[in-house]
Structure 1
Amino acid sequence: MSDGTNYMKYGVVGVMVLGIGLVAWRNFGPSDESARSAQIVAPPQLSAAASLGKKGYDDNCAQCHGGNAAGTDKGPPLVHAYYNPGHHGDEAFYMAVARGVRQHHWRFGNMPPQPQVTQGQAQMIIAYVREVQVANGITYQPH
């Protein structure tokens, strides 16, 4: 074989190894949920509704959406500009709880309905999420 052919083989193998490494790192690399949670500022004081909402959030939402709504490898952060009230109003959250949501902004798959969460609980959870958003500079932005 000529030197040119060897270089080409090594180049192809190198690109394949790099690609496999990147896929493995993305899928099996360290989780940075704690780092994301640490970056989210908790409000200094929650309203009464948001305090109850935090309990409901922790019991029903945090497993996928993370502590302080910072996101996990299972679900997106709710403290993100996508979820500002001008883009995803409160009604979008109510519908997500009742009907689930098809994947659209993120690659986490579809969110299933959460029938164990009542509309009243959802209202308090939304109050909690909105207060955490405001504490992190996420406010109404027209869509």
Structure 2
Amino acid sequence: MCKSLCAMYVKVLAIFPDLEAARPRSTSGIQALCALHIALEKTKNVLQHCAIVVNFIWYAITGDSVVLKFEKARCALEDSLRRVEDIVPQAIGGQIAEILVELGRIEFSLDPVEKQIGDEIIALLQQGRNFSSSNDNKA
């Protein structure tokens, strides 16, 4: 997941100076660039979080949440790129179109084994909590 989103982040970041140089002067153009900048920041934060978290157990437990964060980052990039695509020169618009196609092909998902392990860990944690609660009630 990290590698595919990172590759798209790098591609968008590479054309960002060209987008700024196109200098869209309209209010909607400026808003579109700002939205893209915010989407890039959110994507960077998701990627940094992914790089920091190396604890397999934590990842297995929070995997669904991580996938959702990746999906949100991708959607933000797609939405903001679509807004910018219409206000830049055709050459840059073509690059954006290629990136949008690649973004659309990415599918974020957990490895089935990771998902199963996460589900089992969560079930064990819940059993432990239920056991603890029943012991507290007996005391």
Structure whose residues are more often helix by fraction: 2
Do Structure 1 and Structure 2 share a fold, with TM-score over 0.5? no
TM range (shorter): under 0.3
TM-score (norm 1): 0.26
TM-score (norm 2): 0.27
Greater RCO (CA < 8 Å, at least 6 residues apart): 2
